[in-house]
């Protein structure tokens, strides 16, 4: 049996269950045939549009905006229906339990209790929450930029760097942008932090170098007194597109690397730079992408060649799984690592200081925010842009500012 058959059967079963229970909810709430037909039509349109985009788009086009909007439309329909499914399925379980209990009792066996309108109304009311959240995320949330600030203390930080500030941005994904005014606002917000350095930790495009063409004048405006540095992310290698030849893919990769100097960034490809101040220095280390299950071009030893073990080090590594599997226990002691990649899945719930949840946490141990183990830190920035889903719900685009302090 082909490998794709089982996933297809499972997804088909889930979709049929979703649509059946959702429609049962509508039938309980209204007898208006027009409303019922419109409900079915919108659902069918979401599926047809999604599969049309999937099968009609040439893989050489990479992930298009049309695909992203198809995903957004489908999720807008499916997620609320999942809430309806849970409510109606729960009610069905209770209905059948009551019937089963009456069957074994001494009294006359009762028929299956009808659905209660109140349950359907409550289900619709609760389903409206993810619907409106997704709608907000698509049209507003993806540009709802947040500046998160941290102050980290280190005993081995050189005195001259007490108070040194770093602004980190990551996962620009310029091929997804559709609003120049909002991007300009975000770039201005980065500059307002007036940090000593700006560090960009990968994924400048979705697939192709030309995706950045319209945005080079905007990102060229980024300013930092002691330099701007960058690395590559998994999307910068062109691995998610079908290429006519290896030469075309290589040419695109070289063009992506050339974007960085065009916007004033020093791209670190498994190499390092020293930042000097008042006769003292810290090492800035940048590796190519290394991810669990992804491209592993990153070479930590090569990037650190020529650095002393006792030097204070800031490591830029796109995927936080690199920190988890390779960096945090490394004897060379990388005091601070800056990553991105996860986007926090662009969906979740965060109440600062109290609660933080996203499906991303079931894939990545470090998925959003600051983490510490063995006296070493990793910051997983939630990302500047967005990808796949054209929005953000609860996990907002992030600009991180880190101040280094001498303990």
Q: Which domains are assigned to the chain?
A: 5-133 (no CATH), 141-406 (3.60.21.10)
User: How far is residue 385 from each of residues 188, 234, 279, 333, 345, measured CA to CA in Å?
Assistant: 15, 15, 38, 31, 12
Does the global pTM surpass 0.95? no
Q: Looking at residue 97, what is its pLDDT?
A: 80
Per-residue pLDDT at 1: 59
pLDDT, position 111: 54
Could you give phi then psi for residue 386, rounded to 5 degrees?
Answer: -150, 160
- Contact between residue 176 and residue 65 where contact means Cβ atoms under 8 Å apart: yes
Distance of CA 135 to the CA centre of its chain: 17
- Which residues fall within 8 angstroms of residue 196, CB to CB, at 6 or more apart? 164, 165, 166, 224, 225, 226
Residue ranges of the chain with pLDDT lower than 50?
A: none
- Alpha carbon 403 to its chain's center: 25
Q: What's the pLDDT score for residue 8?
A: 75
CB distance 84 to 127 below 8 Å: yes
Tell me what pLDDT residue 105 has.
66
pLDDT value at residue 61: 79
């Amino acid at each position: 049996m082909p490998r794709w058959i089982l996933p297809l059967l499972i997804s088909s079963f889930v979709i049929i269950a979703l649509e059946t229970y959702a429609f049962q909810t509508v039938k309980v709430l209204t007898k208006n045939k027009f409303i019922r037909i419109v409900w079915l039509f919108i659902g069918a349109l979401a599926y047809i549009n999604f599969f049309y985009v999937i099968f009609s788009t040439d893989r050489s086009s990479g992930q298009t905006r049309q695909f992203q909007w198809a995903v957004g439309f489908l999720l807008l329909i499916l997620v609320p229906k999942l809430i309806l499914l849970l409510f109606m399925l729960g009610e069905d379980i209770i209905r059948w339990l009551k019937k089963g209990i009456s069957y074994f009792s001494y009294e006359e066996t009762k028929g299956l209790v009808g659905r209660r309108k109140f349950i359907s109304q409550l289900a619709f009311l609760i389903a409206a929450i993810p619907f409106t959240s997704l709608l907000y995320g698509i049209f507003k949330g993806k540009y709802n930029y947040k500046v998160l600030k941290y102050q980290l203390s280190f005993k081995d930080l050189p005195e001259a760097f007490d108070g040194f500030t770093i602004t980190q941005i990551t996962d620009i994904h310029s091929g997804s942008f559709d609003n120049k005014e909002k991007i300009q606002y975000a770039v201005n917000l980065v500059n307002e932090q007036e940090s000593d350095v700006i560090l960009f930790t990968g994924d400048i495009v979705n697939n192709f170098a030309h995706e950045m063409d319209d945005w080079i004048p905007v990102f060229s405006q980024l300013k930092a007194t002691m330099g701007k540095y960058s690395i590559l992310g998994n999307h910068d290698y062109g691995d998610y597109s079908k290429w006519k030849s290896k030469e075309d893919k290589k040419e695109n990769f070289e063009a992506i690397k050339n974007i960085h100097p065009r916007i004033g960034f020093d791209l670190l490809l498994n190499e390092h730079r020293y930042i000097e101040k008042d006769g003292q220095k810290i090492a800035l280390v940048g590796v190519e992408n290394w991810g669990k299950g992804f491209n592993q071009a990153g070479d930590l030893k090569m990037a650190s060649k020529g650095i002393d073990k006792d030097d204070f080090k800031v490591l830029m590594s796109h995927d936080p799984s690199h920190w988890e599997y390779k960096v945090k226990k490394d004897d060379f002691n990388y005091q601070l690592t800056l990553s991105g990649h996860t986007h926090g899945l662009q969906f979740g719930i965060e109440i600062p200081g109290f609660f933080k949840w996203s499906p991303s946490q079931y894939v990545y141990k470090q998925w959003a925010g600051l983490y510490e183990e063995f006296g070493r830190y990793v910051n997983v920035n939630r990302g500047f842009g967005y990808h796949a889903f054209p929005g953000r719900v609860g996990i907002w685009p992030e600009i991180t500012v880190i101040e280094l302090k001498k303990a």
